[in-house]
Amino acid sequence: MVQPPGFEQYGSNGQQLVCRLRKALYGLKQAPRAWFHKIREFLLTSKFETSKADNSLLIQRSGNQLLYVLVYVEDIIVTSSDSSAINQFVKSLHHQFSLTDLGKLNYFLGIEVTYTTDGLVLNKKKYILDLLKKASMDKSNSSPTRMVSTYRLSAHEGSSVDDEIFFRSIVGALQYVVITRPDIAFSVNKVCQFMHRPLDTHFKAVKRILKYLQRHFILWPSFSLHN
């Protein structure tokens, strides 16, 4: 591996030395960032533009044809208004990098994708069930509401939770659920305000949201995208 700029060293004969790897690059914390930088450079040279809404989304415009590429570490989603453009892009990507074509999108970042005649149906049944199991609430009693409307959460009432990291991980997972479950957006936003110092009263509010999801993930499991 070539030495990084500014850290070059040379042998006694003046020959530039190289680095000897002691750990696989894939296992380093910098690996995802380095990989994204590399594939982003390739896409930009292929006349893609970075979306203003999301840096991980790149768009190529050619007349009336649009090609979208969404990159998340080593997972890539490609879609276009022209199927031949997708095939051509996948071939060029495969020529540049080693990749595996998994075919139609079925599951991505906890989101299950179902195809219908009207478009796509997105749901997070599995993600929510896994979250309930993680919180040991998959067999608890459900709740018909997301929050107690007559009770206001406070930063001063209650005692500290036993595991703040666990609290934050559950709330972080709930933030991701909001993408397909906007009905819990307000409640999740409230508990997010106490991430810095969570109390037991805040954890009770989180558990109520989980109980609500347990009751309603079958009644409102999906988010539809129509053509």
Q: What is the 3-state secondary structure (H, E, C) of 65-116?
A: EEEEEEEECCEEEEEECCHHHHHHHHHHHHHHCCCCCCCCCCEECCEEEEEC
Average pLDDT (36-45) is 87
Considering only 30-34, 97-101, 107-111, which range has the smallest mean pLDDT?
Answer: 30-34
User: What is the mean pLDDT of the segment spanning 59-79?
Assistant: 88
Share of residues in the chain with pLDDT > 70 (%):
91
Domain boundaries, the chain: 28-120, 122-225
Do 135 and 210 contact (CB within 8 A), yes or no?
yes
The arithmetic mean of pLDDT across residues 73-77, rounded, is 83
Look at residue 218 and tell me whether its pLDDT is greater than 50: no
In DSSP terms, which residues pair with 115 in a beta bridge? 120
The dihedrals phi and psi of 110, each to the nearest 5 degrees, come to: 85, 0
Query: Rounded mean pLDDT of 197-214?
Result: 92
State yes or no: pLDDT of 221 exceeds 60.
no
DSSP summary character for residue 137? -
Element (H, E) at 210: helix 200-216
Give, for 40, the enclosing helix (H) or strand (E): helix 31-45
Please say whether the beta carbons of 111 and 125 come within 8 A.
Answer: no
The answer, as to whether pTM is greater than 0.85, is no
In a 10 Å sphere around its CB, with 0-12 CB exposed, 13-18 middle and 19+ buried, how is residue 62 labelled?
exposed
